[in-house]
Each structure stands twice: as C-alpha cells, then as structure tokens.
Amino acid sequence: MNIVFHFLFNYLFLDAVFGNASSYLVIIFVFSVILDFDHLPYLIKNGRAVVKKRFGSESRTRLHEIYGLAVISAISCLLYLLMDKQLVVVAASCLVLHLCIDFLTGKSVPFSPYSKREVIIGISPSGYAKKIVFETATTFILGVLFCLQIASLVL
C-alpha cells in the first residue's frame, strides 16, 4: 500500500485505540512511512524500469518481513524500558501495523533471507489495474474518515 494509506490507517487505528492520536501526529507519520525507505535502493538500481517492474517483495529488504518484525520488537522492548512508554507504543504500533498491512495486501517473502518462497494472502485484488483501484479507493475512504476525525477535534 502507499505511504498515505499507511499514515491514515495508523492514525485512525491508534486514535480508535488510544483516543489521542492527534498528540502524536508527527510520530505516527514518521513511523508509518519509514519502513518504505527500504524501497530506495531498488528505485535507484532500477530507475525508470520500476514503472514496468512495479513494487513487490523484490523491492523490499528483509526488514520489511518477519525478520524485521523481530528486530522491531526487540528494539521496542528495550526502548520501552528507557523512554516514554506511550511514545514507544505509538511508534512500534505504527511499524507493526505497516508490516501487517503489507503482509495482508501484497506479495511477501516472510522468511527472507532464509527462504525465497513468496506468499500472497490475497486480501487486495489481483491484477495491476484492480489493485490500483482498490488502493486508491481505500486511501480515499481513509482520507475522508481522517478529515471527519480532524474536523471533530476542531469543532
């Protein structure tokens, strides 16, 4: 999914769970999208060919798989002991939710680097055009919900 979707989903999810997501807006944004920076080497390496190749499991590092989940969990546990607990929970939740959304909606190589077997759970439709429509529609819906939630804070 795209970075806007990740941010909106994480914000709305955390607001539903904790009720004060607006206090952590910047943290939610940063930790919702930071995992997608692992696509940069793939983008640099493939240049314009990315348009034809698209993004998928081949464009991610192992931090975007179960290995990354284990690393994120270990670091989060350590930081939980040393820092503001609510801040660590919000940041770690954003990272974990990002991984979960990517596992559910895209191709994954969950046991990379130990196995190259690709897994597709199949919640999003197959086919590039259908996937774009699905991603655009879900991002738009989350955007509307986000705007309504922000408007309720202002009013």
Q: What is the pTM of this model?
A: 0.86
For the chain, 155 residues long, give each residue's pLDDT as a single digit of tens.
889 999 999 999 999 999 889 999 999 999 999 988 887 777 778 777 666 666 666 767 778 888 888 999 999 999 999 999 999 999 999 999 998 998 888 888 888 778 888 888 878 887 778 888 999 999 999 999 999 999 988 87
- Provide the pLDDT for residue 50: 66
Dihedral over alpha carbons 144, 145, 151, 155 (to 10 degrees): 140
Which long-range contacts (C-beta less than 8 Å, at least 24 apart) are formed by 116-123?
118/57
